[in-house]
Amino acid sequence: MGPPDHTHAGDDVRLGRLVIEDVRRGKLGQAYLRDIEDIYRFYLTEDQREKLAAMGPLKRFFWLNRWLLRNLLFRLAPARRLLLLMAPVLFLLDAEWRWGETRISLRLSPWAFLPVLIVLMLELKDKLLARDEIEVARHVQISLLPRSHPALPGWDVWSATTPANDVGGDLIDYLEAGGGRTGVALGDVAGKGMGAALLCAKLQATLRALAPDAADLERLGSRLNGVLERSGLDNRYATLFYCEIAAGDSEVRYLNAGHNPGFLIRGGEIRALEASSLPLGMLPDVRYRQGRESLSPGEAIVLYSDGITEATNARGEEYGPERLRRIVLAGSGESSEAIARRVLDDVGVFLGGEKPHDDQSLMILRRTT
């Protein structure tokens, strides 16, 4: 008889402590409710959710379970789909044979959990492998973010971005533009996840390559649009708000390619800097228009992604541009960082613990002297 396996015993103890710690953390009910809501949104189409809302309780229960099971099976690989379908067969398969005094019983219902467990283990394995790859992509994306904010005499620039998932499709960047100017960019790629993150990286690389040699922002917009449009990715496009500023210079040159209107804070009021054309990569041969503004000390431009204004709380209410306007105006005399933190804190309070469904990015350019 060999010595006891202390390694396995130690693992069992650690697992027990982990479970106890999970219980002690509390708020498990809220976590389970969020998980159920995620399942509801992920496996049911918008049309199915609307139909369920119009049904009575009994009918809704029947159709909810039917659609959930059917949509789950459609999403599985063929071999796993067949394996999962074996579970109800095994659960119902009880047989008995008699030959004289001999009786043979076959009860497979206790084994019905086994194919479910196997499918769960296979799906978890795929998820963990994909998570490792996504973690690498996340580190790469973080490395592409600016490490510091521009230190330009006469300007106070601050930005922040928070992806809804492990990787995001929002672009925040500072770059060297032509003529000693500094370019600041906030972009938003359609969609979320890995596809959006890859196109976001392509947009960033293209912008950095083209901006220093662009004669004007109209030509820059056309060239960016041409590069993304030639990629030929269906339903993949990007909005972009790009500005150029210089040390000691009050002028801001900007390009709004289908992005949310920037907010120009001036004299206790807000004026919208609207988009001049379509998003990048949507159609060929799109023409863009450059805008210009001269900022006085204390005036600022606020840029944001729609993850801010479309943030939705548990009641289904959107944060909205009007609430953003009020918060921005309330902090108009503060620094860029203070204004941004005021907005982000207010969005967090509005969500009330609800998970954001889109990337949230914010950038403030404030004239100081």
Share of the chain above pLDDT 70, in %: 94
Which of 92, 91, 69, 66 has its CA nearest to residue 81? 69
Concatenate the DSSP letters of all residues of 72-95 into one string. Answer: HHHHS-HHHHHHHHHHHHHHH-EE
Residue 265: the pLDDT is: 95
Place of tokens 């990787």: 167
Does residue 248 have a pLDDT over 70? yes
Residue 24 reports pLDDT greater than 90: no
Distance CA 140, CA 54 (A): 46
Give me the CATH topology for the region 147-367. Phosphatase 2c; domain 1 (3.60.40)
The yes-or-no verdict on residue 232 having pLDDT over 70 is no
Range list of β-strands (E), the chain: 94-99, 102-107, 155-162, 170-176, 182-189, 238-245, 251-257, 262-266, 269-273, 291-294, 300-304, 360-367
From residue 84, alpha-carbon distances to 9, 106, 111, 129, 174 in Å are: 33, 21, 12, 22, 51
Task: Say what the alpha-carbon torsion angle 195, 201, 206, 212 is, to the nearest 10 degrees.
Answer: 160
Mean pLDDT of 136-157: 85
Alpha-carbon distance of 131 to 136, in angstroms, equals 9
User: Which residues neighbour 59 within 8 Å (Cβ) at sequence distance 6 or greater?
Assistant: none
pLDDT in tens, 166-218: 777 899 999 999 788 999 999 999 877 777 888 888 999 999 999 998 889 99
Enumerate the domain spans of the chain. Answer: 147-367
Residue type, 235: N
CB-count exposure of residue 218 (10 Å: 0-12, 13-18, 19+): middle
Average pLDDT over residues 222-228: 93
Q: What is the pLDDT of residue 111?
A: 86
Q: 353: left (phi > 0), else alpha (psi -120 to 50), else beta?
A: left
C-beta atoms surrounding 41 within 10 Å: 12
Mean pLDDT of 59-70: 93
Q: Is the pLDDT confidence value at 256 over 80?
A: yes
Q: What is the pLDDT of residues 66-80, one digit of tens each?
A: 999 999 999 999 999
pLDDT tens sequence across 268-295: 899 999 998 899 999 999 999 999 999 9
Which range among 55-64, 160-169, 195-204, 329-338 shows the weakest confidence by mean pLDDT? 160-169
Dmax (CA) for the chain in angstroms is: 104
Task: Note the pLDDT tens digit of each residue in 117-143.
Answer: 999 999 989 888 887 877 777 777 777
Q: Tell me, what's the pLDDT at 29?
A: 73
Q: How far apart are CA 258 and CA 29, in angstroms?
A: 41
Please name the amino acid found at residue 222: S
Q: Report the percent of the chain where pLDDT is more than 90.
A: 57
Contact 303, 186 (CB under 8 A): yes
Q: Any idea what the Cα angle at residue 116 is, between residues 111 and 118, rounded to 5°?
A: 95
* Total length of the chain: 369
pLDDT of residue 154: 95
pLDDT tens, residue by residue, 306-316? 999 999 998 88
**pLDDT score for 34:** 79
Query: On the CB side of 230, how many CA atoms lie within 13 Å of its CA?
Result: 9
Mean pLDDT of the chain: 88
| 302 within 8 A of 347, measured Cβ to Cβ | no
1 has pLDDT over 70: no
Better pLDDT: 352 or 93: 352
